[in-house]
Amino acid sequence: MAVSAGLMAAPAAALAGTPTISESFSPDSIPLTGTATLTFTIANPDGSLHSVSFDDSLPSGLQVAVGSVGTTCATGVASSGGASDVAFTDLALTDTSCTVSATVQGVQAGAWANPVTVTVDGTPTPVTASIDVVAPPSISLAFGTSLLGLDGITPLTVTITNPNPSFALTGVSFTDSLPAGLVISGQSAPTNSCGGTLTAVAGTDSLGLSGGDLAPGTCTVSAAIVATATGTLTDTTTQVLSNEGAGGNAASTALSVIGAPTVTLSAPAPGRVYTFGQKVPAAFSCAEDPNGPGVASCQGTVASGSLIATGKAGTHSFTVTAISRDGGVASHTVFYSVAPDNRFTVSRPVVHPDGSIGLVIKLPGPGRVTVLEKLPGAQFVFARATASARAAGKLHLIIRPTARGRRAVQHGHGLRVSTTVGYTPKGGAQRTTRLRFRIAQG
């Protein structure tokens, strides 16, 4: 940074051999809280006796380091009258050349001139020098949102500020190693208004800038970030650096990543086979992630507590969908089956004297019918019949007794017959019913 160093020679009217005074800072640009050496150089060409003194009240941006004021002048006395004061007195200067120096620290950013009036043999002589005190850059972080769903994407913006009103900063740099659970997304290209080189590779967890140039004011770098894990994730950068202003602050910010809502579905049970017309109440619930904003909707094929569909044979699906207030969606589907309808009715039997019976069976669909008749206590089948139905409707059957059954009718008196009627629907399970009747001899 360009600064001016003051050099003061004796006035034109001064006699040859009058001491001359010059003032300088080294270096002439320092970072805030950095130090420089302030030097007054006194030249006394003829080595004659002279009186030299000054009292330097430093500008507000500079302070004297304690114990740093000194002089090489043989008889002079240099001192600090306080944190902002450098004083020198030599009433018998005979050195041909000597110096008064002090270590000064930059305590406030700015371009600071240090005018001093030096008295030489009673004549006031002004000298001056300037130094730049450069404040470091500052950095801040901001996500596009404070709450993000798992696998969601949000911009991460890094803002760098040069607080110096008149100095540009060069070599601006920082590194941001993203916390576990966040990576750079390839959804959109990163942006950079800070100059230099931006590093932000999709799929990695590192964002950084090197060699940036920043005039007074601010600049930004930004990249899209995708969340790969849930939780409260805190992102922290390194200290932001510059060539002139040294190191500034580190920035930190947090992002809460929440999972999708969850669905718990206990009825209908997956893979379960229900009987036709069975009364099965649906049972399910939805829950939000602990850090989430809550569930906005939890809906199933029917409401929880309502009966699921079991009035049609075959495979059925049941779906529950949960939607959170931030738009997160979770859905759970199960498949269950309903067995074919095996409910049937049997008319009152028509009993014939020869032991034959007539039945009318009303069936809900195609299937197979079996009829088995036995006499209580007997070890043989009294009558047996099978029949098939191709469609729903009434099936008329005449079940005739076996040979042993006919003989039992001939020799028996008022036989009691136990009849089991079974119906097995196509693709379904058998259902049975029992009938009891009496055969009277004709």
pLDDT tens track for 139-173: 999 999 998 888 899 999 999 999 999 899 999 99
Query: Considering 323, 338, 353, which residue would you say is the last residue of a domain?
Result: 338
Q: How many CB atoms lie within 10 A of CB 165?
A: 11
Residues 67 and 30 in one domain: yes
Residues 69 and 87 in one domain: yes
For position 15, what pLDDT does the model report? 47
Q: Where are the beta strands (DSSP E) in 144-244?
A: 147-149, 153-162, 169-177, 182-184, 191-192, 197-200, 206-214, 217-227, 231-236, 241-242
Indicate whether 205 pLDDT > 80.
Answer: yes
Residues 284 and 332 in one domain: yes
Residue 147 lies in a domain: yes
Residues 149 and 241 in one domain: yes
CA distances (Å), origin 346, targets 222, 320, 350, 396, 427:
80, 41, 11, 10, 21
Query: Considering 281, 313, 338, which residue would you say is the last residue of a domain?
Result: 338
User: Quick one: pLDDT band at residue 12, thresholds 50, 70, 90?
Assistant: very low
Residue 2 lies in a domain: no
For position 1, what pLDDT does the model report? 34
For position 293, what pLDDT does the model report? 84
Q: How many CB atoms lie within 10 A of CB 310?
A: 19
Indicate whether 30 pLDDT > 60.
Answer: yes
User: Quick one: what percent of the chain has pLDDT higher than 70?
Assistant: 96
For position 246, what pLDDT does the model report? 83
What's the domain range around 366?
345-439
CATH number, domain with residue 120: 2.60.40.680
Residues 142 and 115 in one domain: no
CA distance 196 to 140: 18
Question: What's the whole-number mean pLDDT along residues 297-309?
Answer: 97
382 closest CA partner among 424, 437, 339, 338: 437
CATH number, domain with residue 270: 2.60.40.10
Q: Report the range of poorest mean pLDDT among 6-20, 177-191, 230-244, 346-360.
A: 6-20
User: Quick one: pLDDT band at residue 442, thresholds 50, 70, 90?
Assistant: low
Average pLDDT score, the chain: 92
Residue 1 lies in a domain: no
Q: Structurally, how many domains does the chain consist of?
A: 4
Q: What is the pLDDT of residues 168-189, one digit of tens each?
A: 999 999 999 999 999 999 999 9
- CA angle at residue 285 from 283 to 291, to 5 degrees? 170
CA distance 20 to 8: 7
For position 292, what pLDDT does the model report? 83
CATH number, domain with residue 424: 2.60.40.2550
